[in-house]
Structure 1
């Protein structure tokens, strides 16, 4: 029997997952939590095999919760269930110790398979994320090969040296998010995002957002 704890701030999602998993003879949901802090309190008296956890939660988000889980409950296996599909989120959660990452819009059959895979101690990445990563890799490889075929005089200048966080901000700007929305997604302040944005503009010497996006696309920083 796989003992499961759910951690998500949306009660309706927890109810739906509980209803679906209740039909599985090898799974049992022992408790629910609306955020990371409540999950840690639950684990103190409710042993579990798998934690099914969101990333974006109040009080204690998924990243902070993972650090506590690895320190206090290293035997618990974590499967992330989130709507955040950007590879930066996937990479950060897997690097932090999560064994699997599945999107909330995944088919229930895939979610069940993900739980069983993680419970067995194996890594899992849902199909949609895997295909997105493959498409991005193919696009970048194709673009790089096209540049290599150009004569040196026609090749674009090297891209400005942007930090990992600046690249995250740049990609979210390109997706049309406001500074506040970017701050919410990256769990930081609006002022910090404004600083990153200014640094990006200074490094790329782009005069406005449209020019910045054109610069990023021409240098392969975004698709």
Structure 2
């Protein structure tokens, strides 16, 4: 039996929805709430499987309730009802944590089918919404790549264009060396170091020394693990004291 909770500010509509669902035999409406607060209070005391919340609840109540339920009661599936045929609104509900949506032009059969599907952990979306979801995922992937500062390719491939000297400097960047310290270590001028660092950033397709240093540390970790190393000591210049593989991996 699917236990459903209806959240709607209009009592008459809530009653009609309850009648439609209760008539199915495998769905039982356990409570009808007039507000998100009442619904949350009921969920704290009683079990339910699916919550149907009207999108027109005041103060974006349906979206806020969806967000809270997704965080506090992830086992409960949220269905937002009464939506217009708007891909933007539907995506917003799904991003908040809704398991499904019921649009204004959906039938009672559509409503019942969606309740059954979300109760089983499934979803029904139109081809238009599916296309919008795919586009949103691609956009999120692009943004994540930009935030990371480099393309998602293997670290070894990223470093193939580096010269031997640039690889030396990259290793020192990973150890937290400043330009002056690198110059002293390699017995070259600071200006030469700056030129090499500029070239390294361009070849690795990153924007900051910090991002380049992260790549250097990941490379060093991978090489150490490949060689069977079990202990790692990071330089004090990084302000990090790590002596175990687990601790070192957590820094990446």
| TM-score (normalizing by structure 1) | 0.55
2:83·2:101 contact (CA, 8 Å) conserved in 1? no
- Listed as ranges, the matches of 1:204-223 within 5 Å are none
In structure 2, the residue matched to 1:155 is none
Alpha-carbon distance, 1:40 to partner: 0.7
For 1:52 and 1:43, locate their aligned partners in 2 and report how far apart those are by CA, in whole Å: 13
Q: Deviations over 1:115-151 (max 9, x none)?
A: 10110001123xxxx3665999xxxxxxxxxxxxxxx
For 1:123 and 1:134, locate their aligned partners in 2 and report how far apart those are by CA, in whole Å: 11
In structure 1, the residue matched to 2:145 is none
- Listed as ranges, the matches of 1:150-165 within 5 Å are none
Q: Which moved more, 1:8-17 or 1:102-111?
A: 102-111
| TM-score (normalizing by structure 2) | 0.49
- Listed as ranges, the matches of 1:34-45 within 5 Å are 34-45=34-45
Structure 1: which 4+ aligned runs deviate by more than 6 Å?
none
For 1:106 and 1:55, locate their aligned partners in 2 and report how far apart those are by CA, in whole Å: 14
In structure 2, the residue matched to 1:11 is 11
2:117·2:124 contact (CA, 8 Å) conserved in 1? yes
For 2:131 and 2:123, locate their aligned partners in 1 and report how far apart those are by CA, in whole Å: 21
Pair 1:98 & 2:98 matched? yes
Alpha-carbon distance, 1:104 to partner: 3.4
Alpha-carbon distance, 1:37 to partner: 1.5
3-state DSSP of counterpart to 1:80: strand
For 1:73 and 1:63, locate their aligned partners in 2 and report how far apart those are by CA, in whole Å: 15
1:37·1:60 contact (CA, 8 Å) conserved in 2? no
Number of aligned residue pairs: give it. 132
3-state DSSP of counterpart to 1:105: coil
Alpha-carbon distance, 1:96 to partner: 1.0
* Structure 2 gap ranges (5+): 133-252
- Please tell me whether Structure 1 or Structure 2 has the larger radius of gyration of its CA atoms: 2
For 2:18 and 2:90, locate their aligned partners in 1 and report how far apart those are by CA, in whole Å: 24
If asked which structure has higher relative contact order (CA below 8 Å, sep 6+), I would say 1
Q: Deviations over 1:14-70 (max 9, x none)?
A: 111111112111010000111211111111112101111112212661111112111
Structure 1 pair 37–59 and aligned structure 2 pair: CA distance change class (3 A) = farther
In structure 1, the residue matched to 2:25 is 25
In structure 1, the residue matched to 2:46 is 46
* Structure 1 gap ranges (5+): 137-223
In structure 2, the residue matched to 1:72 is 72
In structure 2, the residue matched to 1:171 is none
In structure 2, the residue matched to 1:82 is 82
For 1:34 and 1:111, locate their aligned partners in 2 and report how far apart those are by CA, in whole Å: 20
When the two chains are superposed, the root-mean-square deviation of aligned CA atoms in Å is 2.1
3-state DSSP of counterpart to 1:98: coil
In structure 2, the residue matched to 1:57 is 57
Alpha-carbon distance, 1:9 to partner: 1.1
Alpha-carbon distance, 1:83 to partner: 3.4
